[in-house]
Each structure stands twice: as C-alpha cells, then as structure tokens.
C-alpha cells in the first residue's frame, strides 16, 4: 500500500444532483440513511444492511431487489478520478488493476472497481462521498465485501500506510505488531492470497538481484536503487531494498573492522 494523494479528486458540481436524481425520493433516502448510521455500528441491524432496514427508499436493481443506485459505477468520472489517484493500481494490494480487468474504452472508462472504504450497506449516508472511494481489484473488493471491524481499516490516503505492514523477501505480508487496523486489512482484503504473494515476491526478488549486484560499488547510494515511481508493489520492494542495504552496510563495516590495520 502506498500513500495516495486525494488532492484534486473532488466531486463535480452536479454530483449531488446526479445522485438525488437516481433515488425515488431523495429526501426520504437521506433521512433514513442518517438514522441508520446512528444505530450501533456493530449491532445486528447495521450488519444486516440498509436494504433490509429501509427498502422503501431504494430503487430496484436489475434482479428486482431494493439496492442503492450504483452511480459510482455508472458515472465514469468517479473511476477516472480514483484511477488517476492510485496510478491505475489497486489501492490496497498495489496490483496493476488496469491491466487485469476487461476494459475496452481506454482512459475514459478505466477498469477496476470502485471500492467503498466504509461499506455502503452499513454506511449508506457515505455511499456517494468521494472520500469513501478507492480503486480496487476484484479480489480485494470481493474479499472485503460488506465487512467493517470495530476499528476499521488502514486508509490508503492517510499518514504512511505502507509502514504499517512488513513485507518479506518472498512476498509475504504481515501487519506491524499491535496494529489492529493493519491486521484486519491484511485478513479481510485477503492480502496473503497465493498468487498475489507469488507476484509480489517475484517483483521484490528481481529488484533485489539488481541491488545486490550494485551494492558496495563506490558512489552507489541507497537513493540510486530505490523505486522512485509508483510501480506495482513498489512499497514492498523498497522496504526490502532498505533492509538488504542496511544489512550490507553492517557486514561491510564489520569486515573493515576485522581487517588488520596497516603499520604506519
Ligand atoms: Zn487488490
């Protein structure tokens, strides 16, 4: 996970009107949605979802079931903005979403899924807030679904999210000790899934091969071998580069201390 900058990612002026036009009775929807969010966050009613609580304020989906109108999906401006914000990568696993989803319309309709950070079934009053949207791959979005643990998850657009996870050279991932939000993020988004781990491990090891060849050469600094652009798995790669670099330095220092001093 790399830090995403939300600067400039703002809803267009007509956004609220677009959302309200998709609802049968916008005033009734917002009233009910706000009342629903006042219920106990981990209570049974909240967990059952907004569609069971107030089906009368929702339009029917294609299967005839009451559901929130998916304006975040039908209005391409949402995906354009959040795909730009995360450079076409899944905001959670840093896989290149743009290349593994079917998408035929280029920049105008970027592939990937609009993930509601706070799930829409449990936070319907935030279902149309742009701050609640991140671009996600199908695997992360599907794994998390409507889950929301008591403390929530690590937000990709706050603080230094990458430092809250530890990436091993083989692609493994763990939450930093004692970080409950990070632990829930790893578990619920399925960040340990097999092929994701394999791809992440290969990306790390390929880059480390290159770093190890350069280490110890005069004039080569750590900054020269870090990933400076947001590419797939760059956070996981850079963490490993820093670790290998630091251990190489320690070894070189030890070796130079062990060498006998030349007589003056
Ligand atoms: Zn993902």
Tens digits of residue pLDDT in 67-81:
999 999 999 899 889
Centroid of ligand 1 to alpha carbon of 100 (angstroms): 11
Q: Give the pLDDT confidence score for residue 257 in this predicted structure.
A: 83
Tens digits of residue pLDDT in 78-128:
988 998 899 989 999 999 886 655 556 666 667 789 999 999 999 999 999
Query: Structure tokens of 85?
Result: 């914000």
Residue 220 Rama label (left phi>0; alpha psi -120 to 50; beta): beta
Centroid of ligand 1 to alpha carbon of 46 (angstroms): 26
Confidence check: pLDDT of 263 > 60: no
Tens digits of residue pLDDT in 161-216:
999 999 999 999 999 999 999 999 999 999 999 999 999 999 999 999 999 999 98
Q: Give the pLDDT confidence score for residue 3 in this predicted structure.
A: 94
The count of other CB atoms within 10 Å of the CB of residue 196 is: 22
Centroid of ligand 1 to alpha carbon of 249 (angstroms): 34
Centroid of ligand 1 to alpha carbon of 123 (angstroms): 22
Q: Are 81 and 9 in contact (CB under 8 A)?
A: yes
Supply the DSSP string of 218-263, one letter for each residue.
TT--HHHHS--S--TTHHHHHHHHHHHHHHHHHHHHHHHHHSPPPP
**How far is Cα 262 from Cα 259, in angstroms, rounded to an integer?**
9
3-state SS, residue 162? helix
Centroid of ligand 1 to alpha carbon of 54 (angstroms): 31
């Amino acid at each position: 996970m790399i830090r995403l900058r939300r600067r400039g990612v703002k809803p267009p002026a007509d956004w609220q009107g677009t959302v309200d036009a998709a609802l049968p009775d916008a005033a009734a929807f917002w009233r009910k949605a706000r009342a629903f969010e006042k219920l106990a966050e981990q209570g049974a009613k909240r967990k059952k979802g907004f569609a069971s609580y107030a089906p009368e304020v929702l339009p029917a989906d294609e299967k005839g079931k009451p559901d929130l109108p998916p304006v975040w999906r039908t209005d391409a401006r949402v995906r354009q903005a959040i795909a730009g914000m995360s450079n076409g990568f899944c905001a959670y696993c840093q896989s290149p979403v743009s290349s593994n989803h079917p998408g035929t319309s280029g920049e105008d309709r970027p592939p990937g899924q609009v993930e509601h950070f706070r799930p829409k079934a449990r936070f319907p009053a935030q279902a149309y807030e742009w701050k609640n949207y991140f671009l996600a791959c199908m695997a992360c979005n599907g794994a998390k679904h409507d889950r929301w643990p008591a403390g929530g998850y690590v937000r990709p657009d706050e603080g230094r999210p990458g430092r809250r996870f530890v990436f091993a050279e083989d692609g493994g991932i763990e939450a930093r000790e004692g970080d409950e939000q990070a632990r829930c993020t790893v578990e619920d988004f399925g960040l340990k899934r097999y092929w994701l781990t394999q791809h992440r491990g290969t990306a790390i090891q390929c880059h480390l091969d290159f770093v190890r060849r350069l280490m110890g050469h005069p004039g080569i600094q750590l900054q020269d071998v870090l990933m400076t652009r947001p590419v797939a798995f760059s956070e996981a790669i850079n963490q490993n580069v820093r670790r290998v670099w630091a251990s190489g330095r320690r070894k070189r220092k030890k070796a130079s201390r062990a060498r006998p001093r030349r007589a003056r």
